[in-house]
Structure 1
Amino acid sequence: MQGKLESIRESMMKELDSVDSSESLQVLRVRYLGKKGLLTQMLRSLGNLPPEERPAAGQSLNELRREFEAALEGRQRLISIAEDEAREASDLVDVTLPPRGRGWGGFHPVVQTMNEIIDIFVGMGFSVAYGPEIEDDFHNFEALNIPPHHPARDMQDTFYLDNGRLLRTHTSPVEVRAMLKWGAPLRIIVPGKVYRRDSDQTHSPMFHQLEGLLIDEDVSLADLKGCLNTFVGAIFGRPLDSRFRASYFPFTEPSLEMDVECFACSGRNPSCRICKGTGWLEILGCGMTHPNVLRYGGIDPDRYNGFAWGMGPDRVAMLKYGLTDLRVLFEGHGSFLTGGGY
């Protein structure tokens, strides 16, 4: 019996020395100490020995079991240390590695379009002017040749506030303030937010507007057309055919609507979703500044005249980037800010 136990001991220790992982160690433990393990089975078979041999054999088996359990625990400690060191080594950050690429943000299409428009007109000698979004009736209506009870006020559903204040319905009040402050000659563009009680596929209760005003001596419609045609070619990347249609605005006389050829189909596609097959895109309103507006601005209309125009950068962005619903510009699409959504 003693010789057999010594042979088993040598075999167990030899196997134990070759174990290098916690999983392999557990397999070895089960093989010898599990319910069906070799030492467990030998302890259970002690009853088959002669009575006089049982005490010595039982003592030897228990000593071997305790020795093997102690050896297993020692080996487990060594393996755990090695595994922890390997895990820590794999988790180390190599500071010499290049950084991961970061997703960069970008301008919203409306902001980008407004910046492009501003840059174009600044390059043509215009200055940028700003004004309050909460206005009074005088600057928003009366000084723009829209007196009380004028039918033109029916064109706009206005957000009225307390004490006669209102949310401006256009950026034109800034033109009045600029004339009163700087006089003539004058050359400004006015970007900003405006507000009207309107919301559908092509309208929003808050939207952006950008308009311009040029006042000098002997200004003509030809100057207006040349200025706007230069702008159109710059914003859309190439010269486009244009046409001017008679229209009506209280603050200009004569008043015009400017259309440009469809940059998507040039009028050759009856099913074009951009121009609806007409071949033309309405882009802005314009005209020669009304003498009454000049008077309200403190400028002598007998000496000076000028022209003005107004456009919606939101609409220009829709046309430029092929969007079909104005409301998506205000719904917070993350893709718009990464440059991948338009």
Structure 2
Amino acid sequence: MGNLEKVGACVKGQSVQALLVQSQVLSVLEQPAVDLTRAEKLLPAQEKINKAIADGQDTARHHLHTVLRNAIDTAADIGSFFAARHAAVGLLESGTDRLAALRVIEGLREQADESQRHAQLVATDLQHLRDSFVRYSSDVAAATTELAQADGALASITRSLGGVDARIGDAIIAAVLGGLANTGGVVRLGVGAVATVVTGDRKNTLVAGGGAAWIADAAATALAGLFDEKAGLIRQHAEDHAVITLGCGIAGGLAALAASATGAGRAAQNTADAWMLLADELGGLVTGLRKGQIVPDALSRLLAGDAANADVGIIRGHLVGAVTEVDVTRTVGDVIRASLAA
């Protein structure tokens, strides 16, 4: 059943994206409120930035408690389907009449329909997550724009940090995907400080966007280097534009989560579509049975094949068994390297 293989591939892609989102969500939860300075003129911007951070953390908690759990359930759905299909093949091979075969295939189709609804719910929830963090990022960016006024540094800093954030996202996907089907691998999630920015007489720690996920050690080493590069860029920009750099960093961290949610939502939609195709395929078997175009004995051969079953079980194990380390007293790069050295 080619469409079942498609479901397996989509679940794998969705799982990688879910881990990327989870790492970003954890970083947002650790972002402290900003304390720019005692200068009264900065207080309105500080209030807007801190409100966006607080709202983002409320949304992030909802994701961890609800949306992520639903995403894990979608990985469990295909495992349940493989088990039901295996039982169906055994029943059909033992010999059964057409009516009994119809009940078996209709049961599988109903299970595929239910799995499609689960995946669609995850896709919808991730779209809401994306929309929320686009708004929070925009709110921080607007407050930062007020501080920058006509200063051209804002666009330059935003562009500079956005470029490295995109590369970090790609590197996390590579670091997870490289070991996702490996039984010996363990998914690790790390959260640390991206950088510290001194604004006036205050130190502010930038954590949003400082989440990482990895399985493959070699890819994790490269990922740590990218976070080091981002920290260096922030220090460089902060020498002349500390407050603007901090605002851009927070806006960028929230935007990175929005971008990750977009990718994860697209992957979940692909999973939902693959389940729908599988349900349609099973519906075709039901029609063929009713019309006498397919005999029960032939169904076991059509349903056979377990190529993707093992991978799916491993993937779900990675999702529920991820090891998380949070230490905002160290940089993300140092958190990753310490984990690799342990």
TM value normalised by structure 1: 0.21
Higher RCO (C-alpha under 8 Å, 6+ residues apart): 2
Report the structure number with the largest CA radius of gyration: 1
Determine which structure has the larger strand proportion and give its number.
1
